[in-house]
Amino acid sequence: MKNKMLAMVLAGGQGTRLGKLTRETAKPAVPFGGRYRIIDFVLSNCANSNIKEVGIVTQYEPLELNVHIGNGEPWGLSGHGKGATILQPFTNSQGENWFKGTANAITQNVSFIDSRDPDTVLVLSGDHIYKMDYDAMLKKHIETGADLTVGVLPVDIKEASRFGIMNTDDTGRIIEFEEKPAEPKSNLASMGIYIFNWKKLRKYLLEDKESNEENKEMLDFGHDVIPAFLENNEKIYAYAFNGYWKDVGTIDSLWEANMEFLDPNHSLNIRDDDWRIYSRNMIAPPQFVSKNGEVKESMMADGAYIEGKVAHSIISQNVSLGENSTVKDSVIMANAKIGKNVKIEYAIIGEYANIKDGAQIIGTHDDIHVIGYEEEVGGNDYENE
């Protein structure tokens, strides 16, 4: 019997640690790799895993993200029997219903999930960079007879105290969950990827809330739902993932992931025709490098116009770089305009930024300089902090 799985992507987080880049943009909508946005990776994983329907939960600054997702057509999620549905907070007779946590976001969309009548629900975060076959994880979920399967990533034991850690027995069954333990007992970090049997999860989210004396709501999967499953001896298994996975929640990690993306031997293998990463992009003219322009060890998207020198950097769609300007170890987002005699190193330049002639934007490997979207810098108006 085929298991019908619905994916629910949690994409409502603010992402405050990305500073200027998420001031007016949802974190999953932040550009990545020259022609993608962060959420493209999880949506492409759904498409490549043959998942037909995806609910995307948005809340913080949703406009740009909602427009990018649209009807899901770039990821093959439009058409008969398919769908990408954007789910936002709403008001009803009981008042406002802002999402108060990961589990609460699912609770408030129970009606949507019920309308799709799934056997299992795949819960995903919309702000991680990775390629993963969710169908293989589902097969393991069915094979073990689990009520819940948690995607886990083996990390260096020295780093394990930074994560939620799953402790397992010899069969892979999770017997204990510790949130950022001072002395971790294992190195299996939760990736925030869950497959639940829907009827079981629904019972915990709704029926238990109505029946328990404290009327306690299940707000968060890590803090509430998984501990409750463990307490009631539900069958929870770990599914180990050994590929590339990156949480790009900080400026440093976002820059680092972009630089890693430049490696032609990167394990993400962006040129793999069997697991493509899809996105929504505007049509732009071909890229152009002038007689005096020079580009080395870099990625350039359509519409780029280069009269200066670029080294080990990502140049996004419709970026222009003036004469005698240099860009090194940096990410230039779409439609940024960079004038003449500009020097940029170890920086992230936001979309539609305008860098005037003669400006110097110099960061370091440990202190990446960020210019926000539509920000104008240079000349006498700007000092590199």
Annotated binding site for alpha-D-glucose 1-phosphate: 164, 179-180, 190
Output the CA torsion 339→345→349→353 (10° steps).
-20
Q: Which residues of 258-274 are buried (b: 16+ CB within 10 A; e: fewer)?
A: bbebbeeeeebeeeeee
CA angle 93, 98, 100 (to 5 degrees): 125
By three-state DSSP, how is residue 229 classified?
A: helix
Token code pair at residue 210: 């109505």
Which residues, other chains included, contact 286 with Cβ-Cβ below 8 Å and sequence gap of 6+?
Answer: 302, 303
34: alpha, beta or left? (left if phi > 0; alpha if psi -120 to 50): left
Report the helix count and the strand count for the chain, using DSSP H and E: 9, 31
Task: Give the number of other CB atoms < 10 A from CB of residue 98.
Answer: 13
Place of tokens 């990408």: 84
Residue type, 10: L
**Which residues carry a binding-site annotation?**
164, 179-180, 190
Query: In sequence order, what are the beta bridge partners of 52?
Result: none
Burial 325-352 (b: 16+ CB within 10 A, else e): bbbbbbbbbbbbbbbebbbbbbbbbbbb
Query: Which residues contact residue 294 at a Cβ distance below 8 angstroms, ignoring those fewer than 6 apart?
Result: 308, 309, 310
Q: How far is CA 214 from the centre of its chain?
A: 35
Backbone angles phi, psi at 167, to 5 degrees: -100, 130
